């Protein structure tokens, strides 16, 4: 596909970079680069410069996913990427960090690099090993959730909703939702992601086996919430309470739906990632007006 | 200044854009583009493409500021920008939105475009006027605050600390800090910004006069907090409570300092913007270790 506006873009982009005299300061370093939430073009200009110039670029693959895969990123960056799983990022991180003493290494992370504890840990470890680090921030669901019209400063503590199993149905996150609700605050619920998780069998038998990746949907989260509510005698929330379902935030095909939790149990919001918001009971008029368009 | 690595960058950036067949879908539209927090290169690739191709680009100048000014942005984008003040964004927004029916118009906003109510309002107004809109997310202080090592999901409600005057010393934000603290949650305090604010005189005399722009420092915020604490008989926080001061987050020269509120009253963290965090009383070991480097 080609069009005159594309041509214009190519020319202007070229002149943009041709004219610059500043350059990324690349003392040997370990970069944590946020990719934002949408697709390949949601990396920042600074982030892209780093990716282009690093000796080695890894793509973190287990705390979140981008709506596009590794291949599209590689095509856009014109370089190969190495997938970094939990083992590499947690158990084998020292090797990687030590490499960053004489090489420029970047770890690409979906959203903002400091949304997950793993990466803070990594930076601490780097400090111990005297490895220089640099963070390139980007949008994360923690701020992009503002796209549903609920004001960011009216959000309370964020919670994570984990996948239940037959024997393990934790619901401690629910108390936090209730505590926010009673203070008239919204709750952002981050939904569970299982990527390269060892199977139960592999844990007991010491064979390395992994489950298929799965990403909790708004539908599944709503269903778990309804079950919790049904088992509580004294709770302010009900099956009829309003929730906001979001999928693929930041992507052109993002979806936002406002429904009761009960209705949300039947809702298909398409491919991952999904997030759920439980709004405060009393909303600001602008919040109400904004949500109304997603009913 | 020229160096071989810069040359490499220019060439690779050129080939990057030359090779792409995708182009930004520019049906006539009103774009809200987040600029992130640092300097000119913190815009996303998608955002930059939009800026390059729009008929008119405005820079929102009163909810936040970038560490670089309009001139540097214009140089980087190779196009003029129009400064958009509060009057334009609030009272005269309809004119601008109507223009976006036959033109591509972008409003650039520091941080993420949906951090402030103004922009949600703008999107609602656009819908009423049947103007298409698109949001380009970016990092905001709401997620980049993770750079101090405090975990984002341990933050409670965000508060804003307003400048006090001789006759007006509101402290309702303090209750929110206390409520977070008692639930063992951190509080991000956004510090007041006064840009193109009408003087008191101009309000009464109907002459258009504006105050010099001012940006609350960590020092000023700490001083107001200490005054509130000194006037309360029953509060969990004290002058000795630990606070985290942050300045110019996302910029290479960002500063983070961990001190008691009392010590923070004497601290100069340099040019704006500043933010303050009141950490929860009981921190996770990783949070403690991370904060320790800023003591």
| Averaged pLDDT, A78-96 | 90
Nearest CB to B23 within list A5, A76, A289: A5
- Name the closest residue on chain A to residue B44, using Cα atoms: A44
Q: Give the bridge partners for B146, in sequence order.
A: none
Q: Does B207 touch chain A (CB under 8 A)?
A: no
Say how far apart CA A191 and CA A270 lie, in whole Å: 14
Shortest Cα distance from B186 to chain A (angstroms)? 9
Is pLDDT of A189 > 70?
Answer: yes
Same domain, A35 and A135: yes
Same domain, A62 and A151: no
Nearest CB to A15 within list B78, B124, B153: B78
- Quick check: B153 and A16 CB within 8 A? no
Domain boundary among B139, B174, B189: B139
| Averaged pLDDT, B74-95 | 91
Highest mean pLDDT among A24-33, B9-18, B157-166: B157-166
- Name the closest residue on chain A to residue B153, using Cα atoms: A158
In whole angstroms, how far apart are CA B129 and each of A292, A294, B126, B138, B258?
Answer: 16, 18, 5, 26, 48
* Domain region containing B175: 142-292
Across chain A, what does the average pLDDT equal? 88
- CATH number at A219 reads 3.30.950.10
**What six digits make up the tokens of B12?**
């690779």
Same domain, B246 and B277: yes
3-state SS class at A177: helix
Q: What pLDDT score does A271 carry?
A: 93
Say how far apart CA A48 and CA A250 lie, in whole Å: 18
Q: What pLDDT score does B191 carry?
A: 96
Same domain, A87 and A201: no
- Name the closest residue on chain B to residue A8, using Cα atoms: B53
Share of chain A above pLDDT 90, in %: 73
In chain A, residues 1-40 whose CB comes closer than 8 Å to chain B: 1-3, 5-6, 8-10, 12-26, 34, 36-38, 40
Domain boundary among B86, B117, B139: B139
Contact list in A for residue B74 (CB cut-off 8 A) is none
Is pLDDT of B14 > 90?
Answer: no
Could you tell me where the beta strands, DSSP code E, fall in chain A? 30-34, 56-60, 82-84, 105-109, 133-136, 159-161, 187-191, 193-194, 214-215, 242-247, 255-260, 274-278
Q: What pLDDT score does B227 carry?
A: 97
Same domain, B111 and B209: no
- Quick check: B142 and A152 CB within 8 A? yes
For testing contact with chain B, the best of A39, A41, A175 (most B CBs within 10 A): A41
Contact list in A for residue B17 (CB cut-off 8 A) is 9-10, 13-14
| Averaged pLDDT, A26-51 | 93
Is B107 exposed, middle or buried (CB count within 10 Å of its CB: 0-12, 13-18, 19+)? buried
| Averaged pLDDT, A184-203 | 87
In a domain, B181, yes or no: yes
**What six digits make up the tokens of A240?**
């009829």
Contact list in B for residue A2 (CB cut-off 8 A) is 21
**What six digits make up the tokens of B179?**
């409520």
In a domain, A240, yes or no: yes
Which of A74-88, A195-209, B174-188 has the weakest average pLDDT?
A195-209
Contact B53, B78 (CB under 8 A): no
For testing contact with chain A, the best of B22, B32, B41, B125 (most A CBs within 10 A): B41
In chain B, residues 270-289 whose CB comes closer than 8 Å to chain A: 284, 286-287, 289
The band of A8, judged by pLDDT with boundaries at 50, 70 and 90, is: very low
For testing contact with chain B, the best of A74, A128, A153, A178 (most B CBs within 10 A): A153
Q: What pLDDT score does B210 carry?
A: 82
Residue among B25, B50, B20 nearest B35 (CA): B50
Is pLDDT of B25 > 60?
Answer: no
Same domain, A132 and A183: no
In a domain, A114, yes or no: yes
The band of A27, judged by pLDDT with boundaries at 50, 70 and 90, is: low
In a domain, A11, yes or no: no
3-state SS class at A175: helix
Same domain, B165 and B208: yes
| Averaged pLDDT, A177-206 | 88
Task: Please calculate the CA angle A211-A277-A156 and round it to the nearest 5 degrees.
Answer: 110
Contact list in A for residue B252 (CB cut-off 8 A) is 25
- CATH number at A85 reads 3.40.1010.10
In a domain, A271, yes or no: yes
Look at B8 and B51; give whichever has higher pLDDT: B51
Same domain, A152 and A120: no
Say how far apart CA A116 and CA A140 lie, in whole Å: 11
Give the count of domains, chain A: 2
Share of chain B above pLDDT 90, in %: 73
- Quick check: A120 and B42 CB within 8 A? no
Q: What pLDDT score does B208 carry?
A: 76
For helices B45-53 and A4-18, give the axis angle rounded to 10 degrees: 110
- Quick check: B183 and A3 CB within 8 A? no
Contact A229, A238 (CB under 8 A): yes
- Quick check: A21 and B15 CB within 8 A? no
Supply the ipTM of this predicted assembly: 0.87
B193-241 pLDDT tens trace: 988 777 877 777 777 788 888 999 999 999 999 999 999 989 999 999 9
Is pLDDT of B50 > 50?
Answer: yes
Is pLDDT of B183 > 80?
Answer: yes
Q: What pLDDT score does B15 carry?
A: 34
Contact A74, A104 (CB under 8 A): no
Q: Does B135 touch chain A (CB under 8 A)?
A: yes
- Quick check: A13 and B13 CB within 8 A? yes
The DSSP output letter for A243 is: E
Say how far apart CA A35 and CA B56 lie, in whole Å: 27
Across chain B, what does the average pLDDT equal? 88
Residues 6+ apart with CB under 8 A from B33: B43, B47, B50, B51, B106, B107, B108, B109, B113, B136, B138
Which of A104-113, B11-20, B75-84, B204-213 has the weakest average pLDDT?
B11-20
Same domain, B116 and B192: no
Shortest Cα distance from B34 to chain A (angstroms)? 9
Q: What pLDDT score does B27 carry?
A: 67
**What six digits make up the tokens of A35?**
């990719």
- Quick check: A124 and B43 CB within 8 A? no
In whole angstroms, how far apart are CA A164 and each of A13, B158, B194?
Answer: 48, 31, 49
| Averaged pLDDT, B179-199 | 91
In a domain, B14, yes or no: no
Q: What pLDDT score does A67 carry?
A: 72
**What six digits make up the tokens of B71?**
């001139």
Contact list in A for residue B38 (CB cut-off 8 A) is 46, 137
Domain boundary among B139, B172, B190: B139
Q: Does B233 touch chain A (CB under 8 A)?
A: no
Say how far apart CA B206 and CA B203 lie, in whole Å: 5
**What six digits make up the tokens of B78?**
């190779």
Which of A217-231, B184-198, B222-236 has the weakest average pLDDT?
B184-198
- Quick check: A143 and B137 CB within 8 A? yes
In a domain, B266, yes or no: yes
Say how far apart CA B9 and CA A73 lie, in whole Å: 18
Is pLDDT of A11 > 90?
Answer: no
The DSSP output letter for A198 is: B
Say how far apart CA A212 and CA A267 lie, in whole Å: 23
Nearest CB to B286 within list A117, A159, A183: A117
Same domain, B157 and B94: no
In a domain, B6, yes or no: no
Same domain, A168 and A242: yes
In whole angstroms, how far apart are CA B275 and each of B108, B195, B244, B271?
Answer: 21, 17, 8, 12
Same domain, A150 and A286: yes
Nearest CB to A13 within list B17, B151, B289: B17
């Amino acid at each position: 596909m080609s069009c005159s506006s594309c041509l214009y873009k190519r020319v202007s982009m070229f002149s943009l970079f041709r004219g610059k005299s500043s350059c990324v300061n690349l003392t040997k370093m370990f970069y944590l680069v946020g990719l934002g939430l949408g697709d390949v073009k949601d990396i920042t200009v600074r982030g892209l410069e780093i990716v282009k110039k690093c000796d080695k670029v890894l793509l973190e693959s287990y705390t979140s996913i981008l709506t596009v895969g590794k291949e599209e990123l590689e095509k856009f960056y014109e370089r190969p990427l190495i997938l970094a799983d939990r083992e590499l990022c947690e158990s084998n991180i020292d090797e990687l960090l030590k490499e960053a003493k004489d090489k420029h290494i970047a770890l690409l992370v979906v959203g903002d690099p400091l949304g997950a504890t793993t990466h803070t840990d990594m930076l601490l470890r780097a400090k111990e090993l005297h490895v220089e680090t640099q963070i390139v921030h980007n949008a994360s669901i923690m701020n992009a959730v503002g796209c549903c019209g609920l004001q960011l400063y009216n959000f309370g503590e964020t919670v994570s909703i984990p996948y239940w199993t037959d024997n393990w149905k934790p619901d401690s996150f629910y108390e936090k939702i209730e505590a926010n609700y009673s203070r008239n605050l919204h709750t952002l619920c981050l939904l569970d992601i299982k990527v390269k998780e060892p199977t139960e069998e592999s844990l007991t038998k010491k064979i390395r086996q992994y489950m298929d990746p799965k990403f909790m949907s708004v539908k599944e989260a709503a269903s778990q919430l309804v079950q919790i509510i049904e088992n509580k005698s004294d709770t302010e929330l009900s099956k009829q309470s309003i929730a906001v379902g979001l999928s693929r935030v930041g992507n052109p095909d993002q979806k936002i739906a406002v429904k009761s939790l009960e209705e949300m149990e039947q809702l298909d919001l398409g491919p991952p990632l999904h997030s759920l918001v439980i709004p405060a009971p009393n909303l600001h008029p602008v919040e109400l007006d904004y949500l109304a368009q997603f009913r």
